[in-house]
Amino acid sequence: GQQLNQSPQSMFIQEGEDVSMNCTSSSIFNTWLWYKQDPGEGPVLLIALYKAGELTSNGRLTAQFGITRKDSFLNISASIPSDVGIYFCAGHKGSARQLTFGSGTQLTVLP
Amino acid sequence: DTAVSQTPKYLVTQMGNDKSIKCEQNLGHDTMYWYKQDSKKFLKIMFSYNNKELIINETVPNRFSPKSPDKAHLNLHINSLELGDSAVYFCASSQGFAETQYFGPGTRLLVL
């Protein structure tokens, strides 16, 4: 099925640095979601975006719904060791009965 | 008070065996899903059920048979397990179709 282009595929950063990742699609989505998967666990929803241009924060995390409806961005400020994990974007089209997931960004935070 | 729970968490079995994975959600959701996550961490949907009715059945071998006895449960039975079935299987639930989904902790299946 269709995939979202998520980048980067992996990141190694120093503790305290800011992180940015993004997701793009060739088609329009009505909802963008960002999930985090801790090692050995299931994905957990971080942020949900429902409106083009919407900017939403959850603690040190900020996500934006692109105005073209074809992309979304996630920023993490002042990274800490527990930010380690895989971050997935997901999109939903109004008529679809399933989410479309990105391939994930593996984040490693170095002390 | 786990929202979406799966059992077992780990499953190691021989090729050719039949096994089941169980999933339960206490969120009152009407839609449940099974995903397969391969070694590259890619999440691939397998099935979804809405009010016990099969909605999505992706290209999955018919050795995989989901069963939903009620809205809160979605089980996955796998016949004649193959090496390529080794993966992490996630159950998820949502209210309505593909709205915000909540995932279980996963079942790590290893076929030897």
Digit-coded pLDDT (tens) for A25-48: 999 999 999 999 999 899 999 999
Answer whether A1's CB lies under 8 Å from A99's CB: no
Chain B nearest-CA residue for A95: B97
**Is A2 a residue whose pLDDT tops 80?**
no
Q: Which of residues 4-63 of A touch B (CB under 8 A)?
A: 31, 33, 35, 37, 40-45, 48
* B98: confidence class by pLDDT, cuts 50, 70, 90: low
- What is the SS3 assignment for B92? strand
**Mean pLDDT value of segment A77-106:** 92
Residue B43's nearest CA partner among A23, A4, A31, A20 is A4
B32 at A interface, C-beta within 8 A: no
pLDDT at B59: 80
Q: Return the amino acid letter for B58.
A: E
Burial class (CB in 10 A: 0-12, 13-18, 19+), B108: middle
Q: What's the mean pLDDT when you consider all of chain A?
A: 93
- Which neighbouring-strand residues pair with B45? B35
Burial class (CB in 10 A: 0-12, 13-18, 19+), B48: buried
* Residue B59: how many other CB atoms lie within 10 Å: 7
pLDDT at B100: 86
pLDDT at B58: 82
Residues in chain B: 112
**Mean pLDDT value of segment B65-75:** 94
Q: What's the mean pLDDT when you consider all of chain B?
A: 93
B57 at A interface, C-beta within 8 A: no
